Structure 1
């Protein structure tokens, strides 16, 4: 993790504050609509969404919606994008995120 006092420097305090704000807004939007996709999409799009999900389930034998652990997700991300010249930041508030960040040697931004 880069720690600098410059406001525009990636990894600086100001940059991390802005990143935290962005993810807080995303979390608020997610929490608002997570149990009510119909309100987010509207009626016709909501029906189309469920039809697409059903089709994906049939085509993938259920692996599409199977739960994948955080460690597996972080592993896939780091394998896909590598570790050179990239700063990954794990944002979370639980022990899972903390453990995964330590395991993969990633920065952790606690979102309480």
Structure 2
């Protein structure tokens, strides 16, 4: 019971940190109700203007969206443009700081994050380390890519990748959210993007993911124990 209480407390602390980080750096309040599946989905509305001196807090986007969110899908060109600028800024932040968060964050916040990660590793029995080892191996291969399909909204997905130090293993262009669509639709989007001449391996833990992989005739690698990452790594060495 004490362990359950401590674990719940830690997860709550991480949840609060995720929200604060997403709010501070990734426009959570502005974009949480108008999330998109991929970072480039709004690129067509980006006018390419210089963002170095752009004042996101004073451009009226938050107030306009809270009152007129439906306009984004019905000809609200100015709002869509401001949304696109925010996603471009997110792209810049993620790409520039995914492997050096200490240069982005305040010292106290960064130290707090390191403490959270250490405690998370303890409670999760270092799950993240074999995962990083497998992701790192895949990244180092010139003909391989790590692609993530997440059921969380895109802003939260990118935040989690950054704070759990996984951002450097996933290019932001290879991160997809299926929060507002289906996993099948999103996987098909990935397949259409990379084509049929690639070898795909779907890594997941749910039976729905396994069934979808079978439906799409894709090999599935289940991850329910940390040792499964080691097995995946061995398979990558010898068979793929």
Name the TM-score, length of structure 1 as normaliser: 0.47
Structure with bigger gyration radius: 2
Structure with the bigger RCO (C-alpha within 8 Å, sep 6+) is 2
